[in-house]
């Protein structure tokens, strides 16, 4: 590869299933220059062999899911390292996922975006989609946002994906320096880039 001018920027959308992350990402792709990549954990999961995955026992499935997510984090960092701007669509419903992202994405410009939605609306969207386990989003809600802060927050309960994307775009244009990932890294990892690709014993693995 030729000379690289810069690392890419990572816009990290975190929220429960059905909170509207993918719709916001789609709007950002239409707005932002240079062209961005939308990298979704659902898309990575969808690349795995479905039949073979269904044959795994619980312990094997937990290990495969953990490796999938750890690989996803490193794929995002790899794209950014090559100079690509990336929009990440993720569900940080296990503590290790955030810790791993903080470690793997150290040194990158990460704009951390919290995507929230009211419980009743999450339930409605789950029913309408029909491809999600009922109650999954509500179970994820207290876990996904447990770290408590973001550079930008959006509530999709009554705000359109377009307007949420505008809010994120406005932050990018404002010249503000995204600091939340660095602050969380210092708080949770002591600024040391160490990571763990497997969940601790007792941590739930939400598919």
Q: How many domains does the chain have?
A: 1
Q: Tell how far CA 77 is from the center of its chain.
A: 12
Q: To the nearest 5 percent, what fractions of the chain are helix, strand and coil?
A: 50, 15, 40
Q: What is the dihedral of CA 125, 131, 134, 136, to 10 degrees?
A: -90
Can you give the CATH number for the domain in which 124 is found?
Answer: 3.40.50.300
- pTM (2 decimals)? 0.88
What strands, in cross-sheet order, belong to the sheet with 152-155?
36-40, 85-90, 10-14, 110-116, 152-155
Structural domain harbouring 48: 14-173
pLDDT in tens, the chain (207 residues): 544 578 999 999 999 999 999 999 999 999 999 999 999 999 999 999 999 999 999 999 999 999 999 999 999 999 999 999 999 999 999 999 999 999 999 999 999 999 999 999 999 998 888 777 788 888 999 999 999 999 999 999 999 999 999 999 999 999 999 999 999 999 999 855 444 344 333 333 333
**Residue 4, token pair as written in the block:** 């690289």
- How far apart CA 73 and CA 96 sit, in angstroms, is 12
- How far apart CA 26 and CA 122 sit, in angstroms, is 19
The predicted pLDDT at position 201 comes to: 35
22 within some domain? yes
Residue of 123, 124, 127, 158 whose CA lies nearest to 141: 123
9 within some domain? no
186 within some domain? no
């Amino acid at each position: 590869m030729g000379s690289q001018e810069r690392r890419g920027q990572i816009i990290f959308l975190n929220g429960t299933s059905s909170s509207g992350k993918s719709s916001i990402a789609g709007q950002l792709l239409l707005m932002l220059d240079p062209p961005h990549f939308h990298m979704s954990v659902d898309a990575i999961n969808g690349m795995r062999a479905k039949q073979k995955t269904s044959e795994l026992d619980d312990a094997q499935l937990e290990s495969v899911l953990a490796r999938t997510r750890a690989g996803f984090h490193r794929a995002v960092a790899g794209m950014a390292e090559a100079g690509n701007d990336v929009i990440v669509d993720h569900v940080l419903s296990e503590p290790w996922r955030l810790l791993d992202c903080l470690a793997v994405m150290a040194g990158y410009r990460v704009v951390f975006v919290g995507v929230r939605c009211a419980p009743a609306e999450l339930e409605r969207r789950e029913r309408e989609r029909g491809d999600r386990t009922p109650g999954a989003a509500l179970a994820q809600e207290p876990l996904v946002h447990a770290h408590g802060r973001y550079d930008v927050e959006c509530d999709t309960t009554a705000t359109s994906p377009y307007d949420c994307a505008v809010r994120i775009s406005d932050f990018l244009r404002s010249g503000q320096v995204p600091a939340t990932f660095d602050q969380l890294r210092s708080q949770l990892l002591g600024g040391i880039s160490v990571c763990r690709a497997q969940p601790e014993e007792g941590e739930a693995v939400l598919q």
